[in-house]
Amino acid sequence: MNTELAKETVPIKRNFDFIDTIRCIAMMGIVMEHCTYNGTYIFNGFPLKHIIYIGLIQFSKFGTISFFLLAGFLLGSKFTTYSSWQYFKRRLSTVFLPWLIWSLIFLCAIIIQNYIALHRSGDFHLRKLLIEKIEMIYLFTNYWFIINFMFCIAILLCFKKYLYKWWLGAIFLVLTLTYSANVYFEWFITSHTIAIFGFIFYLWLGAIFNKYWSKIEAFIQKTPYYIFIGLFMITFYLAVFDIIHLIKVKSEDPYNTLRISNVFYSLATIFLLFKIKEFRFVKYLKPRETTFGVYLIHYILVTHLLPEVFRPFHIIQFNEMSLGNMLLYIACRFTIVYSATMLLIALISKTKIKWIIGR
């Protein structure tokens, strides 16, 4: 009798494996975006291939907001396990240190590449180049994410006592909407990579999702698929139209992640993924062990491996390709980068330094 009572009082451990699955899908979207993007103002007008190019980039644009929301979801579940400092210290060792190592590897690769290209002409100036490339890497490449992410976590941990207060979420929402509005009005630099307060709301929202997950999950389960698919399609169309409008008015950053249209598209995509929940092929990718490693490594391959792979083929200018060749080129870039990244992760995971690919 006592044994049965003890069993009843043990809290049930909730299974959040689906979060790892969705993070893996989101990371595939981020890799796809980086493999697709070849410039903003590279087409004249809006021929079909330009529209499809815009659509392909927008299709993958849910990744960043998804990562903040899902990280907030997991953060909410850890608050009962770790103190604020314990959690932050753990993140420093498991997230920040691997990020620092790979970002420095990226920096070294750029310096070496520039040295080979410029030292004979005498135009190689190490100090100037270091300052320029450090700014570029940490503010305008994918390595901006962890700086922003750690800052957002620190802010939430500071407000841990009030985490589930709606007024706190309202403050964060005002901050992110300010950045969203700035995409259109350009009061200050528009790039989402330096929007230091732009993503806190989504981290907070993820924690709220965790707190009320049983109710949210019940709502998702009883809502028909066609509702989520319809919202996905509508928001996708509006987001593409939004990009076209911003290109027409010569916006500084028409593909900005914090565009209000992309915010709605990202949320619609997240809910659709929550509805689907399971993607059988993802388990073969071991998302918990590999997703962070894909983030750390793939951009180095996009910028340094792909040019060398395609150099012997004398690829013509991207905007001069036919639609079919453009799609084939993008598909090849994604396949090469993702496959090579996974191979590197598999090799590193068999060594004593496997901690550098995180988890």
Sequence-ordered list of residues with C-beta below 8 angstroms from that of 240, at least 6 positions apart, any chain: 51, 54, 55, 58
Give the separation between CA 197 and CA 192, rounded to whole angstroms: 10
Decide which of 280 and 231 is more confident: 231
Identify which of 34, 37, 50, 33 has the alpha carbon closest to the alpha carbon of residue 248. 50
pLDDT of residue 332: 97
Q: Are 198 and 192 in contact (CB under 8 A)?
A: yes
Cβ–Cβ under 8 Å, residues 183 and 259? yes
Percent of the chain with pLDDT over 90: 75
**What confidence tens digit (pLDDT) does each residue in 1-41 have?**
444 444 444 444 566 788 999 999 999 999 999 999 999 99
Residue 123: pLDDT band by 50, 70, 90 thresholds? confident
pTM of the model: 0.92
Helix axis angle for 260-276 and 17-36, nearest 10°, is: 140
Residue 94 DSSP label: I
In angstroms, rounded to a whole number, what is the distance separating the alpha carbons of residues 234 and 229? 9
Handedness of CA 118, 119, 123, 126 (dihedral sign): positive
- Using alpha carbons, select from 303, 235, 290 the residue that is nearest to residue 267: 235
Residue 157 identity: L
The size of the chain, in residues, is 359
* In contact, 269 and 228? CB cutoff 8 Å: no
Burial of 334 (0-12, 13-18, 19+ CB in 10 A): buried
The 10s digit of each residue's pLDDT in 127-166 is 888 999 999 999 999 999 999 999 999 999 889 889 999 9
Helix, strand, or coil here: 326? helix
- Residue 324 amino acid letter: G
Digit-coded pLDDT (tens) for 250-269:
999 999 999 999 999 999 99
Residue 219 tokens, joined: 């709502």
* Strand blocks (E) in the chain: none
pLDDT at 122 (0 to 100): 72
CB under 8 Å to 65, separation ≥6 — which residues? 199, 202, 257, 262, 263, 266, 267, 270
* Cα 38 to Cα 19: distance, rounded to the nearest angstrom: 31
341-353 pLDDT tens trace:
999 999 999 999 9
Output the pLDDT for position 94: 87
Report residue 75's pLDDT band, with 50, 70 and 90 as the boundaries: confident
